[in-house]
């Protein structure tokens, strides 16, 4: 599963290609793709702060690089998820064409705008109350005061890729939530997404799409690993920097997956906390008997887990 999303990085006006963004800040607008299965940052592109969030060319370029990072055996079945910034004809046409060009199973789950135009609004008004199905949470349990329904046959999708489906989710908003006039009329908050997945219950497909929100955690971790601070005035150097940050994210992910997976205090720690527990340990490097030894105090709470991690990393066979 590949999640693609953009984020804003604050930068000084002296930095090359730094620009004002749509939220009133100033800096850059990098676009990244993460593997939801492992947490890896598969690809990233540094962009000026005024880069369009829904630039289809940037999405295609980053997704192409992300797919290339995945081992060939795992490219046969892919799912690409994005928010409404990915709901462009060019991107969805490209995703659809990948199945024909490469003969792989590539599904997409892309947020679809509800509040632009009246087509989706009109379709929702046509849905009878009995057609709404109970929404599910990420554990597969029924979600209270939430429902899903498919409106594919109620919207003209002639200009969109063949096989695209539209699914709408509604939920009672939390107190203080801002609603559009359309939502204020009946008291529901609506969200829609497009997918080409042909099977599965609507509740499962909607819960699968909602899990795209995990990318926000990936972005936060990436910013703590270098993406949030660009060191140079030159755009080319900063572009290389974000690639190095992506490598650091991947190393952290594989450390947690392969070396400390059975130590919850380390396996679930975010970068700042992981650095404190593993890298800030008051250890000593000693020499003797033609060997170097890293001596970790027994009083350090994570000493045993760190020692185990070193042993597991040393046991990883070298690539052939």
Selection from 67, 18, 82 nearest residue 232 by Cα: 18
pLDDT of residue 286: 93
pLDDT of residue 118: 67
Cα–Cα dist 52/54, whole Å: 5
What is the total residue count of the chain?
Answer: 320
pLDDT of residue 50: 95
Per-residue pLDDT of the chain in tens (320 residues, 90 and over written 9): 999 999 999 998 899 999 999 899 999 999 999 999 999 999 999 999 999 999 999 999 999 999 999 998 888 899 999 999 999 999 999 999 987 776 678 999 999 998 766 688 889 889 999 999 999 987 888 888 899 999 999 999 999 999 999 999 999 888 777 777 777 778 888 999 999 999 999 999 999 999 999 999 999 999 999 999 999 999 999 999 999 999 999 999 999 999 999 999 999 999 999 999 998 998 999 998 888 988 999 999 999 999 999 999 999 998 87
Report yes or no: 231 and 241 within 8 Å, Cβ to Cβ: yes
Cβ-based neighbour number of residue 120 at 10 Å: 21
> Which domains are delineated in the chain?
2-219 (3.30.420), 259-314 (no CATH)
Report yes or no: 40 and 251 within 8 Å, Cβ to Cβ: no
Cα–Cα dist 29/51, whole Å: 6
Cα–Cα dist 66/104, whole Å: 15
Report yes or no: 290 and 271 within 8 Å, Cβ to Cβ: no
Instruction: Find residue 41's DSSP bridge partners.
Output: 34
Q: Taking CA 219 as the corner, what is the angle to CA 40 and CA 28, rounded to the nearest 5 degrees?
A: 120
pLDDT of residue 297: 92
pLDDT of residue 176: 72
């Amino acid at each position: 599963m590949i999640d693609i999303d953009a984020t804003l990085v604050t930068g000084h006006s002296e930095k090359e290609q730094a620009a004002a963004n749509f939220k009133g800040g100033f800096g850059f607008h990098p676009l990244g793709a993460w593997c939801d299965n492992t947490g890896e940052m598969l690809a990233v592109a540094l962009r000026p702060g005024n880069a369009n969030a829904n630039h289809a060319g940037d999405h295609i370029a980053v997704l192409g690089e992300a797919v290339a990072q995945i081992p060939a055996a795992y490219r046969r079945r892919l799912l690409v998820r994005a928010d409404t910034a990915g709901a462009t004809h060019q991107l969805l046409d490209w995703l659809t064409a990948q199945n024909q060009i490469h003969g792989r199973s590539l599904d997409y789950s892309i947020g679809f705008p509800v509040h632009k135009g009246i087509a989706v609004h009109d379709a929702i008004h046509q849905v009878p109350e009995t057609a709404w199905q109970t929404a599910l949470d990420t554990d597969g349990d029924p979600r209270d005061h939430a429902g899903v329904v498919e409106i594919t046959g109620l919207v003209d999708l002639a200009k969109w890729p063949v096989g695209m489906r539209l699914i709408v989710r509604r939920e009672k908003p939390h107190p203080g939530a801002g609603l559009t006039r359309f939502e204020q009329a009946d008291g529901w908050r609506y969200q829609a997404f497009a997918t080409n997945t042909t099977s599965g219950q609507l509740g499962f497909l909607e819960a699968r799409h909602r899990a795209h929100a995990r990318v926000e955690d990936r972005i936060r971790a990436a910013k703590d690993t270098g993406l949030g601070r660009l060191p140079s005035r030159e755009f080319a150097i900063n572009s290389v920097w974000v690639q190095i940050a992506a490598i650091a994210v991947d190393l952290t992910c594989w450390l947690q997956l392969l070396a400390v997976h059975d130590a919850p205090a380390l396996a679930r720690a975010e970068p700042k906390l992981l650095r404190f527990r593993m890298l800030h340990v008051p250890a000593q490097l000693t020499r003797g008997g033609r060997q170097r030894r890293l001596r970790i105090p027994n009083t350090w709470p994570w000493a045993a887990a760190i020692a185990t991690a070193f042993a597991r990393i040393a046991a990883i066979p070298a690539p052939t």
